[in-house]
A and B are shown apart, each in its own frame.
Chain A
Amino acid sequence: MDTLQKLQILADSAKYDASCSSSGSTRANKNNGIGNGNKAGICHSWGADGRCISLLKILFSNCCIYDCKYCINRCTNSVKRATFTPQEVADLTINFYKRNYIEGLFLSSAVVKSPDYTMELLVKTVSILRNEYKFNGYIHCKTIPGCSKELIDKLGNLVDRLSINIELPSSTSLKLLAPQKEKDGILDPMTYVSNGIKQNKLEKSKFKPSFVPAGQTTQLIVGATPESDLKILKLSEGLYGKLKLKRVYYSAYISVNNDKNLPTLEAPPLLRENRLYQADWLLRYYGFKADELLDETHQNFNHILDPKCDWALRNLDKFPIEINTADYFTLLRIPGIGVISAKKIIKARRSFALDFEALKGLGVVLKRAKYFITCKGKYCNQVYKFNQNFIETNLIYQERNSLPRPNFQQLSIFDSLQPTKEDKIKCLTGSL
């Protein structure tokens, strides 16, 4: 089997992994080698599904010994199987990198023979890249659940980012769909890596390699199991808080297998995935708590309004907010004002008091924000009333174009009197 076929099979198996970011590494070009890291990350292309391609995302092998129900590579599926050699992966990465196709490598693998055996192959590949080719670009690796700690240490010293996928948000779902995996088998290595990062930061020195400098991430599948948004968000909040994860990715469930325990969905729940990502950003950058966004009575996100608007409408007593005096985290709570706008406002109001015209001049988008703010004590002139009903109606009206449309049809008196083919012929021949 040549490289072309292997690449097709193993890229096809890897595509369901959502993570593809290349940010967080400041690795400089050392030892006259090739490549460097970019703190902000660089996207190199965008696939037909609109997701960015920044890393060479492939599996090392898809010959799996596990039988997870949702996975395309489960051992009971009949799909084409292939395995790279460490040298092949390293050559491919270097040659793609030289042509600026990619920012680095994302290497994952199915479990071949045993977790430790697979992990050794990954370590070998990465060490060829780092030591033989002196590659300083970005490398993201998957930790194989259940592998030994020594191998995690070895890999962690070579790569920029490690990740291990939780996939299913509760242990009951895990038991149902991935019977061979255990919750502890996933969370233990995660905790181990998180402690390793903390320790490495404390003992930072010039002579010690940095351990997973870009942090670790994970992925959750949305829509395969009956967990509510609240439960998923709580889990993410815990992961960010306790384990200091950089990102939690959400992947809308796509049915690839038929199994009695799996739901049958017509289309992946993309809107739900989007809402979760919006809420995830609110957790990480806006100082929100999961309990504020959702509660026992609202377990799932609103389909029409985004999580921040939804929160604001339920907490109208905290509004309107005065632009010229509110602090940074209060500004961030206004729907339609994000990190960039809030920073701009704080900067600009040092020299002048801001009014609505000035906000427009700054490039702050007022589409949603205008209902929730005052400038120099005045409301925007388009806000006639300040109550929930008025604001909600207007917000929804503004979003009408991006909302899914019901299938309406113009009624007609003649619907029941559609001309038949014979009638039309009679028309043409003039015998009607």
Chain B
Amino acid sequence: MPNWKLINKTFLYDGTFDGFLTIVFDCYSNKTLPQKIFSEAEYTFNFLDHTTYIETDFEKSKRVFNGIEKSISYTTLYNTYYAFLSDEPEKEIFILKYLCNGFDIGPKINNMLTVSYVFKVMNMKKRCFGECHRLKGLLRFQEIGNNLYYASIHPDNNIIEPLGHHFISRLPNQNFIIHDKIRDLCLLYNGNEYRIIDSTNIKIPTISYEEQKYQELWKLFFKTIAIKERKNARCQMQYMPKKYWQDLIEEP
């Protein structure tokens, strides 16, 4: 990557993972690095930028996707995916550098933690993966119909898809909706397949008596299980930051 041409351009794409991989393809084949990369929705017009919109090309993105696993490593693909889901501004440029250099030098790239953009990508992945793991525990379903469950979340990163995969393999017979209220995304699962849709208006019907009963039981259990003599609010808050409390059933 050292003698690549830096071009004074801002690339825009549609915000999808495929769109981003298309940019990676174009940059790697032309040996050029853009100044900035933005998803179209996040970009505000600026008369200093020379913008180019990169059309998503599934043929190209598929080649990059397979190429990462083949010529770098599975770990790199994994890191790229989770880093892409993070909410970090300018995440694209770091991942682009990480991937392009990775194609040049191979799986060694994952060990080069002292290189700033590799470290940055690893950190983004860590944060994203960590939040996903935390929400695997902190997400709460409510029964809103016959075998239909609803959960709302307010995550920092866009982790609805990996989170959905966890619950699909765990509760395969349960129909559920996971609602990301920050990004207005809904993951719907019907026992067979899942789909992620945009949603601005979701009305939840009032919950049943049965559901209320279990919520009461859970609240009671939560209160009872703590030992009074060992009270430690700071420790509790550290593990379970206040931003997650709004979606919980229990009241910490």
Contact = CB atoms under 8 A, between A and B. Distances in A.
A354 B231 contact: no
A45 interface: yes
Nearest to B113: A348
B7 interface: no
Contacts of A347: 110-111, 113
Contacts of A44: 137-138
Main secondary structure of the interface of B (DSSP, over half): helix
Given A15-B225, A96-B214, A100-B139, A348 B114 contact: yes
A101 B235 contact: no
A165 interface: no
Interface residues of A, number: 55
A350 B111 contact: yes
A45 B250 contact: yes
Given A56-B221, A96-B214, A270-B230, A101 B114 contact: no
B112 A351 contact: yes
Contacts of B235: 46, 49-50
B248 interface: yes
Contacts of B197: none
Contacts of A361: 113-114, 116, 119
Interface stretch (B25-33, B46-54, B171-179): B171-179
Contact of B113 (A11, A57, A344): A344
Q: Which of B138, B140, B143, B230 has the most CB of A within 10 A?
A: B230
Interface string B200-244: 000000000000001011101111111111111111101110000
Which A-B residue pairs are the 3 nearest by beta carbons? A50-B235, A47-B226, A50-B232
Given A45-B248, A48-B252, A50-B239, 20 more contacts: A3-B217, A7-B220, A8-B224, A11-B224, A15-B224, A32-B173, A35-B171, A45-B250, A47-B222, A48-B231, A49-B228, A54-B137, A100-B140, A101-B140, A103-B137, A267-B229, A350-B111, A351-B112, A361-B114, A363-B123
Interface of B: 108, 110-114, 116, 119, 123, 133, 136-143, 149, 151, 167, 169-174, 214, 216-218, 220-236, 238-240, 248-250, 252
Interface of A: 3-4, 7-8, 11-12, 14-16, 29, 32, 34-36, 38, 40, 42-54, 56-57, 92, 95-96, 98-101, 103, 252, 254, 267-268, 270, 344, 347-348, 350-352, 354, 358, 361-363
20 contacts: A34-B174, A35-B170, A44-B137, A46-B236, A49-B235, A50-B236, A50-B238, A51-B227, A52-B239, A56-B221, A96-B217, A99-B142, A99-B143, A99-B214, A100-B141, A254-B227, A348-B114, A350-B111, A361-B119, A363-B123
